[in-house]
Structure 1
């Protein structure tokens, strides 16, 4: 497998290839994983009392999304003995998450040394897997993790942990039942089936509670003339054509570079800001303190941290930007806000704050929006979920940007265990059984539900809450089991009763 990447420190294109696989390396690592888990007495035995309703097994937890976050949650549930769970993903095996879909960077942006979704077990880290497959020298030479290689690692992680993932399965509806269970409608292989569960985890990624944001001026165009950066784009069809990319973030650079490498005649980047941001602010304070402490901040401070970060914006990675600028037919237009777009003889005329641009195809690298009403599978409860804007009003000190940030105001206001809360008390008590383990959880819990650095910490926080909730709900059963337990430690023949000696 060949993984071309951009030299991170120079404006030149290099091609790196995976080294030859170490013979038997992965087999030895698999054995090491089994040994490590055995030493830790994992996975724990299932302790949650089973339930049957309407003649079918009730799942204790259903996880929607079999990408990195979903795998981390599943592995941690196994660690805590919540084994009656299942993970569903709408894609096929090996296509879960964005890595082989709309992610178009050549390499990951996270440092290669981060433990990621290893669940605290060293032999489950990417480094352990990479060294087992390619050797120590290959690890030392690796600068950044190729995107496809990361996906291969996740497939291995699922296999070696024997996680219960079911592919080609899409959630289409959620309904609350009078008996306290959730009824899910799943579409699998063209057929619908009903799944009953006690808790539902939405590990659905960056757009997990909404979808792609496309500015109205672009959305009004014929669909064949534009795409969002998260769409499946036929870049080969852009060969010899003019392409405009709206945006200046990482996805804008990745899509522009992909179009250029596919042979686009020219690519124009329309960037509203007068300059690209230079500093990734949140990276500068990354620490276990932030991971564990953010969730405990007062609401105003949570808002202040994220309002400042969003205002500063995250710069596109240097390698991604160089991947674009190395092409002579790439053009950066800063301070160039899109004003209107119109079709003209099968092409596009774009009016901007800097003038008019004619192009053939437009890619909107304009991010995502949290709006649960856009997702038909959430129709039963989307309007009942409490958002931050429903109950919190930041004061001036909490708003470095000087205005109320609509993205933050629309974020779900989550309780312990990433659980949704009711917009109005009593309107949907079952929301505490639905857990948001995807990007929109950031304002409530910090960056622990989507990014590589803290995904294991977030999964552990969620799984602990789920285990606690299941135990508390079944407390009468566990108490009865306590009373009924009668396996003796002593048989009565271990001693002989003797009288006290009489005084002289």
Structure 2
């Protein structure tokens, strides 16, 4: 039996221990491990303000586990900002339109190696072991519930409904981070900035240029807020053959679309998930150590094959008789025709009332005003690497070239030293680090790499203070009465012997 994706359909089984009991176990585990570590970073003040050691942008899964890992290592003076209201961070209850997650349910994801923090522990505590064993894949709404619980039980310092509007380097080596909170502008001074901003973290949704001239009432990107109820009895078109395309097509059909046309560039839908097929701890920990040419080869081959949509997502579309798959049908042009669009493909023309472009995201720093001061200095792979013959790839060319703790590197050394304090812990980091910063499977390993790098940087930068503390430390562990010097004891004994004579 497969547990339904409807979160309301799940009820606690007789073997559910409840979240309160799970939280008690988690507290005990953390206590046994002496976690989190005690705070150790010296306080810094600038312009009369306490400086944040780290500011994290984004409180989705990546931002939460980055915060948890920093707290684990004793970097307590950090904050996580997210533009969304509490409980709506990330894609899970906004533009993610699948019924369940695509990842296998047993992946430990953001649990940081703590059994009581895994999704499985959460699910069993809430619904019981029988429900876990019956579960096929995790309903996305319940995954969001889990992340809300994760944030609460770890007491992570998240501030919602706050946006980062601008970041600037200061002469003292710190970062000025301009924010807007509740409509009011503010400022935070930070030593490090982590961009845990997901798939569009260094750019935004991609659509072909000819789409941008269309009236917005006729189209949307799959990452946009879409009123699917308004598509009832409409002719809807979807561009793409990936998971997002299938999810949006199915959602439109389930909302009552009169007809759904799926326009697919390829002559066949991708069927093999290459990267998942070689998944291992070797890939997780070894990818970053590959020579550049081999990193490129692995990802170019993966991207060229493309990731297939999940079988259940595809069946969710094809079960509708008024859904039509058009293979070998890239959209070459679109025209407005009064109250609808005319879609042009090499095979035919189609009348469509509303189009959804499931065409992914691209890196475009021009879409990120908060990084405007740094954009000219950031190094991308295309600035210093020539791909192997036959492996040109625009997506990889515009991947940021990152250092060992996801930090940006300078296009020209010495032109913007502050870049070493800004970390791209988001999907575009994949070419430099592997799939550690955007998907569930290895997100804890990515966060650990990030946090350890920041911890090292903070300690090295404060080395004079730490050394001064070393020199000044004078708390004795021995007070001097724990032993007697053997020579002194012999001399004392000899003196007593002489006196006795």
Output the TM-score relative to the length of structure 1.
0.95
Q: 2:484 aligns with which of 487, 496, 501?
A: 496
- Does residue 386 (structure 1) correspond to residue 379 (structure 2)? The answer is yes
Partner of 2:497: none
Partner of 1:100: 93
Q: Deviations over 1:480-501 (max 9, x none)?
A: 0000000001111112224275
Partner of 2:126: 133
Partner of 2:241: 248
- Check conservation: 1:203, 1:437, Cα contact below 8 A: yes
Secondary structure of 2:110 counterpart: coil
Larger-gyration structure (1/2): 2
- Does residue 193 (structure 1) correspond to residue 186 (structure 2)? The answer is yes
- Does residue 361 (structure 1) correspond to residue 349 (structure 2)? The answer is no
Residues 192-231 of structure 1 aligned to structure 2 (within 5 Å): 192-231=185-224
Residues 153-302 of structure 1 aligned to structure 2 (within 5 Å): 153-302=146-295
Partner of 1:476: 464
User: Residues 211 and 149 from structure 1, CA distance in 2 versus in 1: closer, same or farther, beyond 3 angstroms?
Assistant: same
Partner of 1:20: 12
Q: Deviations over 1:54-83 (max 9, x none)?
A: 111100011000000001101101111011
- Does residue 432 (structure 1) correspond to residue 425 (structure 2)? The answer is no
- Check conservation: 1:105, 1:320, Cα contact below 8 A: yes
Q: Deviations over 1:89-124 (max 9, x none)?
A: 000111000000110000000000000100111100
Q: 2:451 aligns with which of 451, 463, 468?
A: 463
- Does residue 303 (structure 1) correspond to residue 296 (structure 2)? The answer is yes
Mapped partners of 2:13, 2:230: distance in 1: 35
- Check conservation: 2:3, 2:135, Cα contact below 8 A: no
Shift of 1:395: 2.3
Shift of 1:21: 6.3
Shift of 1:20: 3.0
Q: 1:340 aligns with which of 327, 333, 336?
A: 333
- Check conservation: 1:388, 1:408, Cα contact below 8 A: yes
Mapped partners of 1:453, 1:389: distance in 2: 28
Mapped partners of 2:418, 2:170: distance in 1: 9
Secondary structure of 2:21 counterpart: helix
Secondary structure of 1:92 counterpart: coil
Mapped partners of 1:294, 1:499: distance in 2: 62
Shift of 1:220: 1.3
Output the TM-score relative to the length of structure 2.
0.96
- Check conservation: 1:3, 1:16, Cα contact below 8 A: no
User: Residues 100 and 122 from structure 1, CA distance in 2 versus in 1: closer, same or farther, beyond 3 angstroms?
Assistant: same
Shift of 1:377: 1.0
Mapped partners of 1:476, 1:160: distance in 2: 36
- Does residue 412 (structure 1) correspond to residue 405 (structure 2)? The answer is no
- Check conservation: 2:247, 2:313, Cα contact below 8 A: yes
Mapped partners of 2:9, 2:484: distance in 1: 76
Mapped partners of 2:206, 2:166: distance in 1: 23
Secondary structure of 2:141 counterpart: helix
Secondary structure of 1:332 counterpart: strand
Partner of 2:498: none
Mapped partners of 1:199, 1:317: distance in 2: 38
Q: Deviations over 1:228-281 (max 9, x none)?
A: 000000000000000000111100000000000000000000001000011000
Mapped partners of 1:167, 1:155: distance in 2: 13
- Check conservation: 2:206, 2:359, Cα contact below 8 A: yes
Q: Deviations over 1:312-344 (max 9, x none)?
A: 000000000000000011000000011110000
Mapped partners of 1:387, 1:249: distance in 2: 26
- Check conservation: 1:280, 1:315, Cα contact below 8 A: yes
- Check conservation: 2:237, 2:260, Cα contact below 8 A: yes
- Check conservation: 1:89, 1:170, Cα contact below 8 A: yes
Shift of 1:16: 9.0
- Does residue 84 (structure 1) correspond to residue 88 (structure 2)? The answer is no
Mapped partners of 1:21, 1:165: distance in 2: 32
Q: Give the stretch that moved more between structures: 421-430 or 275-284.
A: 421-430
- Check conservation: 2:101, 2:138, Cα contact below 8 A: yes
Mapped partners of 2:68, 2:192: distance in 1: 16
- Does residue 31 (structure 1) correspond to residue 24 (structure 2)? The answer is yes
User: Residues 264 and 15 from structure 1, CA distance in 2 versus in 1: closer, same or farther, beyond 3 angstroms?
Assistant: farther
Structure 1 unaligned runs (5+)?
Answer: 6-13, 397-401
